[in-house]
Amino acid sequence: MSCRRDLAASLAFFAVGIGVCVGAGRLGFGSVHAPEPGFFPWLGGLTLVGLSACLFVQALRGRSSVTAPKGEWLGPGLLLGALILYVPCLEPLGYPVTTAALCVVVLRVLKTRRWSVTLGASVALALSTYLLFRRVLGIELPPGVFWF
Amino acid sequence: MDVFGGLAHGFSIALTPANLLYAAIGSVLGTAIGVLPGLGPPATIALLLPATYKIDATSAVIMVAGIFYGAMYGGSTTSILLNIPGEAASVVTCLDGYQMARQGRPGAALGISAIGSFIAGTFGIVGLSLLAPPLAAFALRFGPAEYFALILLGLMMAIYLSEGSALKGLTMAATGLILGMVGLDPVQGAERFTFGLAKLTDGFDFVVVAMGLFGIAEVLSNVEAPEMRDIFKTALKGLLPTREDWRRCWASVVRGSFLGFFIGILPGGGATISSFMAYAVEKRVSKAPERFGHGAIEGVAAPEAANNAAASSSFIPLLTLGIPGNASIAMIFVALMIHGIRPGPMLLSEHPDVFWGAIASMYIGNVMLLALNLPLIGVWVKLLKVPYNFLAVGVLIFCIIGAYSVNNSAFDVGTVVVFGAVGYLLRKGGFPAAPLVLAMILGPQLERTLQQSLIGSGGDLRVFVEGPISATLLVGAVGLAASPALRWLWGHCVRARAAKTTA
């Protein structure tokens, strides 16, 4: 399992490294005498390709340094999904509404037992931070459907 | 300005009511996040960086530095009372601290931890005050080639000494260098890897990246495996160590202070490694090593002294060379950059207020922490009863508001979420985030100094090995970079020889 994770990671880094090398080529390498904007990215991309190849070989040989235990994916997945949905909704719906909805998801994912606590805390947190940061600290959080 | 004149100037700045308040806020917050498992100093500093936009640079550094060294104090509380380290630097304190608590001496363990931390922290700050000015003066002789070699060595040491696989650390550093290249080329101003997005012209904002990698990723990891907190229920009395305790551990505090100070100076050294090394040294020099792991007070005193001395001395490379040695110090680097101040050898001459003000505030903060930690230990223990649910929601809200406030744009909120997801996956794969952040911060400097050296020498690569300083630094960097391969080769040879002998 750990080696499979390393294999996947090495392939991802390899792809990034190749992409950077190709992008650097379009920018132009120049020469050692007169390096152009692509010179340093090309070095970085090439280094990443080399390192990911070493990682790939290490993973193929069954040697992995992964120490993180295999955990439950549902909670982080739900939370990440909520955060991804939060981003496009933030400006049209406004900070208070979207943040209250996000808090509900987070508190439920973290197994807050009572719905009354979840809903009350979510609304209170969203409104209090909105008022604190917008009104007191002057941070322009999007009001959305709120007029204040 | 000599050291004493500088310190007097620093105290005149640090003792103003506003700066005392910022030092107190930093110390309290640092202790709180040190006490609370699941939220580290880099994440907290990253979350609070947007709050420093409106205060002056000296006050901002005083506050964020307080968070960093305050966390070292607070981390021991959970180690001793819960057997859960509040900070990575307090992992080793669990071994004997929790055993002392089980044996009915949690007060003595907490007391020696706080007093040892105070002594070592003060020792570290004295060392910082004395060493930083001459080192900064020496660094003024550095040209682009020396700087290139120094940054490379700093990065390599940070990777080599960071936790986990060196190969994964190197991969993270290469990724950080690439992320640091997004935006305008530092020499010619050409756009790189912006994909036509105007918002990426200035590159990724360090604050947003750090909040994602340390803040959101930490919440996602904790959601996966929520911590069970079971506070050791016993009366917290006898916080002052007895004469017998002192007899046993004064030398441990001294050894821990020296060891921590010197390890802290090394990029990547930091508090965690120094605490482990101090514990190992104590066990080795002890006449009764079998007591370690069963409640030996030296096993609490030495690592706690070491991590505090290291926290102070890790400011030396930042303030004198402009090289952040670990993730927390990198966040302090970012705090200075936000205010238009570049840490390095010119900091002392160009911004003496920031340099000496920050150092003087550490003396004051250290005294504040001793006062906060011993009499208020009951308050910190109560803080552990805050449910993680609400802490997690708070961290997410701070990340979102912090990211949004950078440019008043949902794009940055999206960026923080993306880096949060990436940070979570990297943790799952055992890839350390610190080398990525350090490389991202140092990358533009590395590129600028490389290009300046090459252009200045007309493309002659000998520029990096002609000067004794750059040559030495470069040999060290290459040696460290090649060390995983050399170790593999050595192991291969040993195995081959053993196989031949058996045959």
Q: Which positions 227-256 of B are in contact with A (Cβ < 8 Å)?
A: none
Q: Looking at the domain assignment, is residue A68 inside a domain?
A: no
Q: Which domain holds residue B296?
A: 3-494
Q: Looking at the domain assignment, is residue A67 inside a domain?
A: no
Q: Looking at the domain assignment, is residue B436 inside a domain?
A: yes
Q: Measured between CB atoms, which of A33, A41, A141 is closest to B404? A: A141
Q: Which domain holds residue A55?
A: 2-60
Query: Does position B139 have pLDDT exceeding 90, yes or no?
Result: no
Å from B229 to nearest chain A CA? 15
Residues A19 and A50 in one domain: yes
Q: Look at residue B382 in the predicted model and tell me its pLDDT.
A: 75
**Of A17, A32, A60, which closes a domain?**
A60
| B106-127 core/surface letters (b: 16 or more CB in 10 A; e: else) | bbbbbbbbbbbbbbbbbbbbbb
* Interchain CB contact of A67 with B (< 8 Å): yes
Identify which has the larger pLDDT, B256 or A110: B256
* Interchain CB contact of A113 with B (< 8 Å): no
Q: Looking at the domain assignment, is residue A81 inside a domain?
A: yes
**Is residue B172 a contact partner of residue B373, using CB atoms and an 8 Å limit?**
no
* Interchain CB contact of B451 with A (< 8 Å): yes
Domain count across chain A: 2
Amino acid at the residue B412: D
Question: Helix, strand, coil proportions of chain A in percent (round to 5)?
Answer: 70, 0, 30
List of chain B residues whose C-beta atoms are within 8 Å of the C-beta of residue A68 = 427-430
Give the three-state DSSP class for A30. Answer: strand
Q: Looking at the domain assignment, is residue A23 inside a domain?
A: yes
Q: Look at residue B328 in the predicted model and tell me its pLDDT.
A: 84
Domain count across chain B: 1
Q: Look at residue A48 in the predicted model and tell me its pLDDT.
A: 94
Give the three-state DSSP class for B191. Answer: strand
Q: Do B164 and A67 touch (CB under 8 A)?
A: yes
* Interchain CB contact of A94 with B (< 8 Å): no
Q: Looking at the domain assignment, is residue A147 inside a domain?
A: no
Residues A30 and A79 in one domain: no
Q: Tens digit of pLDDT for each residue in A63-94?
A: 665 555 555 788 889 999 999 999 999 989 98
Residues A56 and A107 in one domain: no
Q: Looking at the domain assignment, is residue B503 inside a domain?
A: no
- Report the largest interatomic distance among the alpha carbons of chain B, rounded to a whole angstrom: 77
Q: By mean pLDDT, which of A118-127, B47-56, B279-288, B289-298 is the weakest?
A: B47-56
Angle at B197 between CA B399 and CA B409, to 5 degrees: 30
* Interchain CB contact of A121 with B (< 8 Å): yes
**Is residue A105 a contact partner of residue A75, using CB atoms and an 8 Å limit?**
no
CB–CB contacts below 8 A, A to B = 166
Q: Measured between CB atoms, which of B174, B216, B221 is closest to A44? A: B174
Q: Looking at the domain assignment, is residue B485 inside a domain?
A: yes
* Interchain CB contact of B419 with A (< 8 Å): no
Q: Look at residue B414 in the predicted model and tell me its pLDDT.
A: 94
Q: Tens digit of pLDDT for each residue in B438-474?
A: 888 888 888 888 888 888 888 888 888 888 888 998 9
Rounded to whole angstroms, the Cα distance separating B263 from A11 reads 36
- The predicted complex's ipTM stands at 0.90
Q: Mean pLDDT, to the nearest integer, of B191-219? A: 86
Burial class of residue B130 (count of CB atoms within 10 Å of its CB; 0-12, 13-18, 19+): exposed
Which of A36, A110, A128 is the best residue to mutate to test the B interface, defined by the most B CB atoms within 10 Å of its own CB?
Answer: A110
Token pair for residue B219?
Answer: 């919440």
Q: Looking at the domain assignment, is residue B355 inside a domain?
A: yes
Q: Looking at the domain assignment, is residue B502 inside a domain?
A: no
Residues A17 and A45 in one domain: yes
DSSP string, A43-69: HHHHHHHHHHHHHHHHHHTT-----SP
Residues A84 and A55 in one domain: no
- In this structure, which long-range contacts are made by residues A68-76, counting pairs with CB atoms below 8 Å and at least 24 apart in sequence? A68/B427, A68/B428, A68/B429, A68/B430, A69/B225, A70/A1, A71/B224, A71/B225, A71/B428, A72/B224, A72/B225, A73/B224, A75/A109, A75/A110, A75/B223, A75/B224, A76/B220, A76/B221, A76/B223, A76/B224, A76/B424
pLDDT-derived band of residue A97, with 50, 70 and 90 as boundaries?
very high
Rounded to whole angstroms, the Cα distance separating B309 from B261 reads 5
H or E segment and range at residue B153 = helix B144-161
Residues A96 and A42 in one domain: no
Residues A86 and A36 in one domain: no
Q: Looking at the domain assignment, is residue A21 inside a domain?
A: yes
Q: Look at residue B226 in the predicted model and tell me its pLDDT.
A: 61
Query: Does position B31 have pLDDT exceeding 70, yes or no?
Result: yes
